[in-house]
Amino acid sequence: MLILSLLFLAVGSGLLILRWRKIGSWPVTLGGILAGALGLLLGLTTFVHVVGPTDVAVPTSLGKVGRTWQPGLHFKSPLTDVTTFSTRPSDLNLTGDSTVEVHSSEGGVLYADITVKWSIDPEHTVELFKLAGSADAVQQRLVYPDSREIVRNVFARHTSVEGYSSQREAISAEIDKLITDRLAPRGILVNGVNLRNVRPNDALQKAIDQKIQQDQATAQAQAAVLTAKAEAEKRRIEADSTAAANAAIANSLTDKILLSQCIEAFKAAAEKNPVYASPCGTNGTPVIVDGTKR
């Protein structure tokens, strides 16, 4: 910008000198004035820098790094370079081609889609400038590799089933904490980590499906065993009840009672046959029942 400003000033001065020597007409004068004014305006911009309301800036002059500039108007030397950092939250999307391939504690391969929301701490802008050099470099050199490393390390401590389903929330919280703890000392604020999706590769998916089928078969077999045990217990209880009833009846029937009931039964039969021989006697001795006697 400084070189362009000097060029316009030189052109404007040259045109005005020509007009002063009465070489050329009024357009030469007008062109000289405009070129000089433009060169002066461009020259002034090399002495000021405006930092936006959501930005901070780091000035460097002749290899020396200055203090962080906050939002507002700042005066500077034409030899000062200014690097701007946005303080707005940024999203690092580890999806698609950037999806993280992880391995479980059992060796299963999973693919994790994750989004890391991060922003720059204005108090550490100078340190970040020295580490990375620019806002884009902060993401590529610091946030990106550290996030991928932590995601892999966390999943490596869990089984495939835990990573795929049962412990996803716990894994997401653990990743969030570890990334936050890793990046905070460097001046990077982590505003949230979203574990968006976890999917197994084809081989692991097949193994998971087989395990689900085995678990279902095992559950059905266990249910059948419990049903069989219940039926057996029911039959045992019924048999015990029948045996107890028979024992009670057997204990209550004496020989005299049985003889009396036998005789009464054959009396009813003897009504049609006045004299009837009943095998109700002791030791098989028949008893003659006379039905004519009331």
pLDDT of residue 227: 83
pLDDT of residue 177: 95
User: Is the pTM above the cut of 0.85?
Assistant: no
Q: Which of 42-51, 263-272, 278-287 has the highest mean pLDDT?
A: 42-51
pLDDT of residue 182: 94
Question: Rounded CA gap, 114 and 101, in Å?
Answer: 11
Encoded amino acid at 78, one letter: P
Tokens 């910008």 sit at which residue?
1
Q: What is the pLDDT of residues 91-148, one digit of tens each?
A: 999 998 889 999 988 888 889 999 999 999 999 999 999 988 888 899 999 999 999 9
Average pLDDT over every residue of 226-249: 78
The yes-or-no verdict on residue 287 having pLDDT over 60 is no
pLDDT of residue 99: 92
CB-based burial label for 173 (10 Å; 0-12, 13-18, 19+): middle
pLDDT of residue 8: 45
> What DSSP string describes the chain?
-HHHHHHHHHHHHHHHHHHHTT-S-HHHHHHHHHHHHHHHHHHHHTTEEEE-TTEEEEEEETTEE-PPBPSEEEE--TTEEEEEEE-S-EEEEE-GGGPEEEE-TTS-EEEEEEEEEEEE-GGGHHHHHHHTSSHHHHIIIIIHHHHHHHHHHHHTTS-HHIIIIITHHHHHHHHHHHHHHHHGGGTEEEEEEEEEEEEE-HHHHHHHHHHHHHHHHHHHHHHHHHHHHHHHHHHHHHHHHHHHHHHHHHHH--HHHHHHHHHHHHHHHHTTSSEEEES-SGGG--EEEETT--
Is the CB of residue 155 less than 8 Å from the CB of residue 175?
no
Question: Rounded CA gap, 198 and 158, in Å?
Answer: 13
Average pLDDT over every residue of 185-195: 92
Q: What is the pLDDT of residues 210-224, one digit of tens each?
A: 777 787 778 888 888
Question: Rounded CA gap, 183 and 193, in Å?
Answer: 13
Q: How confident is the model at residue 30 (pLDDT cuts 50, 70, 90)?
A: low
Question: Based on C-alpha coordinates, what's the Rg of the chain?
Answer: 51
Question: Rounded CA gap, 275 and 61, in Å?
Answer: 144
Q: Count how many residues are written for the chain.
A: 294
Question: Rounded CA gap, 116 and 180, in Å?
Answer: 10
Average pLDDT over every residue of 272-283: 56
pLDDT of residue 230: 82
Is the CB of residue 62 less than 8 Å from the CB of residue 32?
no
Q: What is the pLDDT of residues 71-90, one digit of tens each?
A: 988 888 778 888 999 999 99
Sheet harboring 64-65: ordered strands across? 64-65, 55-61, 80-86
Average pLDDT over every residue of 255-274: 65
pLDDT of residue 31: 53
Average pLDDT over every residue of 166-175: 89
pLDDT of residue 233: 83
